Structure 1
């Protein structure tokens, strides 16, 4: 895990525009693979896919991003069929699709899109292949694939009576094959400039009680401006929905409350650290007088707070929390350390009915090490810790006599399995009352999260509540 820290720093220091476009492309392919994994229950098909997935993490941290993309695509192919994919299918998967912008105002009538191979398939491009792009099927643009990069202008449909829409741009390689279109998120907003100006003015003289809304407003304005400059997001963001929510936050009333359920992006002020970007799941039916458990999910290196919601089993952790009516918070890690989790918990407790006796930590890879570090520093704050795909250092194994601990790794995880086995040997000798280890056969570094999470939550379910801790001090 120590080797991942300098890799993360280098990844952040890559040229911003190209690195973010490539990270978006990798994320899109990862989500496609995970969707195929969820649809495919045949173990033989999953084993075929795992052969392609095993090198992905090392390719990513070696900055061989095109190779990582190819591996993810071939894992998807393996899940869908044991046969070699057609040339058309391979070329359709290999394309990098880059909109000039992903946030547009209602005055724009077309979107400029650049298409080129993210990597080169080993087979020739099918003769006569054409690319079709559209927002609505009545206005399809069809162009031949005769040169790279290919620039295409796609008509934008009018907004009509809507003040904004989060649309999908569809891109399909038409080569007489039964292919599915790629979907890219594009947002179109009416009166965009004037609405952003009003939000900027609304940041003046904000009350302290609305600190979360104020920090989130600032983050939204920064995201809107980045999108208008043409910067790529790491995933598809619903900018139109964000703008409507931001306008509600500007109204000097709390937005993040029990009455609103669903998934949200927000920024939580945490003292000297500034504000921490997070994603939050709020279950339906929360009541101020009925506290519910909270799960804190810490992502691995090189990704961000979206990973647990969009990936790691196509959002498996969200489904686990939804089925139980639990809150879920995924904070973005700092450059060289974990998010200020105790301060985040205190901030959430002012808005939501947290059961302070049942706050659980889940971490993957570098996030597993950060979860263990937080638990050792604040053992009274957590009911249990789950470390997946990582073997965190434990300064005092006796701490786990009071703190339940779940450790898991895949047998084919080249990054974590050796250290996980070594740590398990040490912890097993301690005969801890609430310790569980599981090695998942044939799994690697990515799929371990999706496959382990049901066991993690069953472990959490089995534990009695702990004594509620006091609120953290400002320095935490």
Structure 2
């Protein structure tokens, strides 16, 4: 799972638009329990909450699950679960335009995802501010107030029935990323603060119009490269995905930079190497999907190169293997002469086809899992169509959820892969015979609080029982994430030694 996700060790402040997924909350909950190791009354309370979470999950009551997880996170952090804390965790903010053109008046809503038990005898007061973090400042430092958006009385006590709507004039706000913070008070008593990230971008609607006009004339895959920020913005505004899944300033600028080549009917990627963000249309989802690819600087179509498909952990994106882990993976791809490609996997918690948790029988989750797996395989196809890939040397790797997905996808498509790299994951021992012909490099820390090391131990034992070529590194004292980057070079060494795809029966 993503390092940033695992750093969340207390109940989060109420935040919004597309809130953190139930699966991610469950992983954080397990990690907190394994780290805090509650005893006595605290353990009894957490066990009771676990029973209630399981009951709510069977009924698909996700808002109740969120309340219970917030309760558990608070007490595991040794903080009191007060009526005010419960009220605060019920709050959520939403808007129809999370990326705002300041030429238009902007609005947002403060809502609740469940009914808290707090007794409120009068209407509430809301204080709203626009805030921004200073460049380079640590997350612990308070954000500066850029603009007072107003104080409002008569706010309804039940925000599920009657959400509070706030309108703001942003014409004097410079382009950038901001947070709208709305504090709710019962007289002088602060009940909670809900925050909403927004991006202000001048000329947004004109940019959308230019990109859509150019895309209408462009062939695939350039059409998808042009439309990606437009399509992603639509899904953010529809509350389908979180704003953090793309960077509006970067992605609109990148799409605009392709306009000259696209209008001239030229391939904008011809001859480009290095770190690139590309896109394609996932037809089953009717969405444009991003993936990140590293092409070694010496690449030429005359010489096929080996390819690694890298699957990120829960809560991360296609950028994680490029921007995190010390940026070591793309550096090694350049050094060793590999093309490296990282898909999003449809959603940050897609699971690559694996049912990892969450409400049982949820059709939306089942659809996301299927699309996540499709995304991986279509990125493989897209990279092959754009670059000369050595088909004898195609590798699959992943960390955490990505490691789980690596073993699962390999079991469904064993003939596709030359070798696997698996970091801090688990698999189904029943698939060992299917993937036993694929050489595998496996790493796990024996102190992993998120995905217990037993998952790798069982899988490795099953693989060895069928004669698989497995190199297993179990790191004494290693946790969920610190075992990954230090062993990337060893994984490349393993891949280099396995340069011919084995014959595997599908």
Q: TM-score, normalised by structure 1?
A: 0.65
- 2:179 corresponds in structure 1 to 168
Give 2:241's match in structure 1, choosing from 219, 223, 234. Answer: 234
For the 8 Å contact 1:270–1:344, the answer to whether it is kept is no
Q: 1:423 to 1:287 in 2, by over 3 A?
A: closer
Can you list the C-alpha shifts for 1:359-418, whole angstroms capped at 9, x where unaligned? 4422628735533325623132x343457254264262572563335689999999x999
Q: Is 1:116–2:152 an aligned residue pair? A: no
For the 8 Å contact 2:275–2:294, the answer to whether it is kept is yes
Alpha-carbon separation, structure 2, partners of 1:235 and 1:383: 30
For the 8 Å contact 1:292–1:353, the answer to whether it is kept is no
- 1:188 corresponds in structure 2 to 200
Instruction: Kindly report which structure 2 residues correspond to 1:306-455, keeping only aligned pairs within 5 A, or say none.
Output: 307-309=315-317, 319-320=324-325, 322-325=327-330, 327=340, 328-332=342-346, 335=367, 336=370, 338-339=373-374, 341=376, 344-345=379-380, 347-348=382-383, 359-362=395-398, 364=401, 367-368=405-406, 370-373=408-411, 376-380=414-418, 382-386=419-423, 388-391=425-428, 393-394=430-431, 396=433, 399-400=436-437, 402-405=439-442, 423=459, 426-430=462-466, 432-436=468-472, 451-455=479-483
Shift of 1:353: 10
- 2:257 corresponds in structure 1 to 248
For the 8 Å contact 1:166–1:188, the answer to whether it is kept is yes
Q: 1:376 to 1:351 in 2, by over 3 A?
A: closer
Alpha-carbon separation, structure 1, partners of 2:395 and 2:484: 13
Q: Is 1:84–2:80 an aligned residue pair? A: yes
Note the residue ranges of structure 2 that are not aligned, 5 or more in a row: 1-14, 132-144, 262-266, 332-339, 347-351, 354-366
Give the length in aligned residue pairs. 416
Q: 1:57 to 1:199 in 2, by over 3 A?
A: farther
Note the residue ranges of structure 1 that are not aligned, 5 or more in a row: 1-20, 301-306, 442-449, 471-475
- 1:8 corresponds in structure 2 to none
Shift of 1:130: 3.4
Matched residue of 1:203: which SS? helix
Matched residue of 2:324: which SS? helix
Shift of 1:82: 0.7
For the 8 Å contact 2:30–2:450, the answer to whether it is kept is no
Q: TM-score, normalised by structure 2?
A: 0.62
Q: Is 1:287–2:297 an aligned residue pair? A: yes
Alpha-carbon separation, structure 2, partners of 1:33 and 1:405: 21
Alpha-carbon separation, structure 2, partners of 1:41 and 1:316: 27
Shift of 1:65: 1.0
- 1:197 corresponds in structure 2 to 209
Q: 1:240 to 1:440 in 2, by over 3 A?
A: same
- 1:147 corresponds in structure 2 to 157
Q: 1:128 to 1:255 in 2, by over 3 A?
A: farther
Can you list the C-alpha shifts for 1:162-216, whole angstroms capped at 9, x where unaligned? 5x54432223345768998543222333333333222122124436xxx444213
- 1:15 corresponds in structure 2 to none
Give 1:268's match in structure 2, choosing from 280, 288, 297. Answer: 280
C-alpha root-mean-square deviation of aligned residues, in Å? 5.4
For the 8 Å contact 2:123–2:157, the answer to whether it is kept is no
Q: 1:467 to 1:387 in 2, by over 3 A?
A: same
- 1:462 corresponds in structure 2 to 490
